[in-house]
């Protein structure tokens, strides 16, 4: 449950703004780290009960400064708990052959086909910056 006590979690799940706060924080982080683009975010799963916070999926849609969709720059984010840590994977939505970032205490790049560790790709610093910022957001918001 990403570090939340059952009583606090029950309160948060019933606050309608909790989901919107998470979405806004993800969009803000993407805007800061993936410039010059602007981003809209949707939650890929629903926050109906305690177990929903075990695994959160976000779809991050990208637009250029003129407001035109840039689908090739869309990102998928999965946030999940492993032990007491908040971990995540970040990947391009449409570029499925590109490496995937797994971010826990450290960043690890994985080949999207084999799952084996690989070299940091050219866009690696952008994703790693986004992951560090989001990890801080989720640790702060969900503990």
| DSSP-derived secondary structure for 65-131 | TTS-B-GGG-EEEEEEEETTEEEEEEEESS-TTS-EEEESSSEEEE-TTT--B----TTHHHHHHHH
Whether residue 32 is contained in a domain is answered as yes
From 47, 13, 45, 136, select the one nearest 85 (Cα to Cα): 136
Say whether pLDDT at 48 is over 80. no
Whether residue 85 is contained in a domain is answered as yes
Provide the residue range defining the domain that includes 135.
6-141
The structural domain count of the chain equals 1
User: Is residue 46 one of the residues assigned to a domain?
Assistant: yes
| This prediction's pTM | 0.82
Residue 95 lies in a domain: yes
Stronger pLDDT, 82 or 3, i.e. the higher one: 82
Per residue in 57-114, pLDDT tens?
999 999 999 999 999 999 999 998 877 788 999 999 988 889 999 999 899 999 999 9
């Amino acid at each position: 449950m990403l570090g939340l006590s059952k009583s606090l979690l029950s309160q948060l799940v019933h606050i309608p703004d909790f989901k919107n706060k998470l979405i806004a924080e993800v969009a803000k982080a993407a805007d800061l780290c993936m410039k010059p683009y602007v981003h809209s975010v949707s939650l890929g799963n629903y926050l109906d009960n305690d177990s929903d916070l075990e695994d959160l999926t976000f779809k991050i849609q990208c637009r250029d400064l003129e407001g035109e969709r840039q689908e090739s720059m869309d990102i998928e984010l999965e946030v999940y708990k492993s032990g007491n840590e908040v971990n995540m994977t970040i990947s391009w939505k449409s570029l499925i052959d590109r490496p995937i970032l797994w971010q826990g205490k450290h960043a690890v790049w994985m080949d999207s086909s084999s799952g084996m560790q690989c070299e940091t790709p050219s866009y690696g610093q952008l994703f790693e910056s986004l992951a560090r910022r989001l990890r801080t957001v989720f640790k702060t918001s969900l503990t």
